[in-house]
Amino acid sequence: MSVRSFLSDVVYSAYGRRLIQQAAGRHPRHIAIMLDGNRRWAREAGFTDVSDGHRAGAKKIADFLSWCQEADVEVVTMWLLSTDNLNRDPDELTPLLKIITDVTDELAAPGTPWRLRIVGALDLLPADVAKRLSEAAARTEGRTGMEVNVAVGYGGRQEIADAVRKLLLQHADEGTSIHELAKILDVDHISEHLYTSGQPDPDLIIRTSGEQRLSGFLLWQSAHSEFWFTEAYWPAFRRVDFLRAIRDYAWRHRRFGA
C-alpha cells in the first residue's frame, strides 16, 4: 500500500467515525434504496458492455447490507428491476436477470443472515427467473437477521393495483358485496395487501446516480419517508456515503404532517 493510500484510509476512517458520532444513535428502522447508475458507471469506466456495470453493482450489495446491519437497520428494500426495465433490449435484460438471480442466491446462501422477501410482480418475469427468486427467499425462512426485500419486476402503480385486486378477491370469497366493502374500506385494508405488508414503511429512501425522483418506487409506503440523493453511481457508492445519509437522516425533524 502506498503512503497516499494509507493516509486516505486513515482520513476516511476518522471521517466515518465522526459521521457515526454525529448521527447520535438515531437510525432508520427501514431503509429503501434505488440502485441506480450501473450503466452510466460502466460507460464512464470504459466498458462496452453495460452488463459489467450491473455485475459491479451486484458486488456492492452485500457490503451495503453489512453497513445497514452495523447501523441496526431492521428492514432494507433494494430496487433491482422495475416493470419499465422489462421493456429493455433482450441483449441487456437477459444477462441482467441472471445477475439478479445469482446475487439473490448468494444472499440466501448458507451462513448469510438475511431473511429475503421478493417484492414485485413475479408473473411478469420469465418463469425460471421467478422460480429461482422464490426458492432463494424460501431458503431464508426462519432466519432472525435483517429482513431484505428484493424488488424485482417492481412498480409502485402495479403494487397498488395488485393490492386492490387481492383485496377484492378476498372479500368476494368471503361473500362481501361491493357496496358493503365500499362502506368499510380504508387505507389499512389496502396496506395489508401490499408486497411489504407487515413491515414498517421506509424511514429513509436513498437514490444513487444524481436522479432526484421516485420513478414509482414505493409510492404508497413513502408518504412520510425522508429522501436522500447522491451523485455517486451505485457501483461507486461508499460506506462514507451511506454514513452521510444516516447522519443527515438523524439531523432531520420528522413531523409526519403535524
| Residues acting as catalytic residues | 36, 85
User: Residues 181-227: pLDDT tens digits?
Assistant: 999 999 999 999 999 999 999 999 999 999 999 999 999 999 999 99
Give the model's pLDDT for residue 26: 78
User: H/E element holding 204?
Assistant: strand 204-207
Rounded-to-10 torsion of CA 213, 217, 221, 224 = -10
Rounded-to-10 torsion of CA 188, 192, 194, 200 = 80
Which residues sit in the known binding site? Answer: 36-41, 54, 82-84, 88, 207, 213-215, 226
Which residues sit in the known binding site for Mg(2+)? Answer: 36, 226
Mean pLDDT for the chain?
Answer: 92
* CA atoms of 216 and 188, how far apart (whole Å): 20
Residue 12 in this model has a pLDDT that exceeds 60: no
pLDDT band at residue 169 using 50, 70 and 90 as cut-offs: very high
Which residues sit in the known binding site for substrate? Answer: 37-41, 54, 82-84, 88, 207, 213-215
Residue 52 in this model has a pLDDT that exceeds 70: yes
User: H/E element holding 81?
Assistant: strand 75-82
Q: Which residue, 21, 32, 2, is CA-closest to 227?
A: 32
User: Residues 121-151: pLDDT tens digits?
Assistant: 999 999 999 999 999 999 999 999 999 999 9
For each of the domains in the chain, give its residue range(s) and CATH number, in order of start: 26-154+201-251 (3.40.1180.10), 156-194 (no CATH)
Give the model's pLDDT for residue 253: 76
Average pLDDT, integer, range 86-99: 97
pLDDT band at residue 228 using 50, 70 and 90 as cut-offs: very high
Give the model's pLDDT for residue 24: 64
